[in-house]
Structure 1
Amino acid sequence: MSNPERQTYVPDQLSAGAFPVMIDTAVIASGQKLSRGAVLGQVTASGEYVLSKAAATDGSEAPAAVLDQFTDTTSGAQVAPIRLTGEVLASQLTLGEGFTLAQAKAALRSLCLFVR
């Protein structure tokens, strides 16, 4: 009699519900190492995305998306998937300097990105 092999399924830990997820690609600005779940803002002048920081004055101070995969741009800007809509787990988000979870949650809500 053979031993069956057991495998464990680990579901996507960023998603938090059934709200439709809309994913697009975007250019992530160079000089960053961002984890999946990073709250991104878009730099107005370049159109590139960076970790959104409350004190920024280049347009990126307004959260605009959530990064959907780890991205290392230390050697140059890269295209990466971003979430434009959906439900995400608060525990999986990376917030930029100056943001509280409540502030990020409120800003993302208007984009149909719901933090649970």
Structure 2
Amino acid sequence: MINFYNTFGKVSMTGDYFAGLVSAAASSCYGVADMATSGASDTVKGMIFGSDHPDKGVRVTEDGGKLVIELHIKVTYGLNISAIVKSITHKVKYVVEDATGLQVKKINVSVDDIVS
């Protein structure tokens, strides 16, 4: 849960909200085939909730009042991975900062698979 204060008081946003927001932004980028599981917790959630749970491949944490976002993606074969990652980082940063008003400190993108 991410907490911050504004003129109206304390605002709390859940990790599920951020995960859904980030996942939708990343998935809409050209060349992203799917979000990948980012570890054992995603694997267990996939078994319980199905293969398409909202926080699949996304982890959002807070560091000094700024967000640190970790993404695990699958890309389409034959495309420039560097260009895809650059596109994702720009779009995710814009979408998150525009929707929440919070600053993004860092976005780490891991390409876990290449699909055809």
Query: TM-score scaled to structure 2, two decimals?
Result: 0.30
* Higher strand proportion (structure 1 or 2): 2
Instruction: Provide the TM-score with structure 1 as the length reference.
Output: 0.30
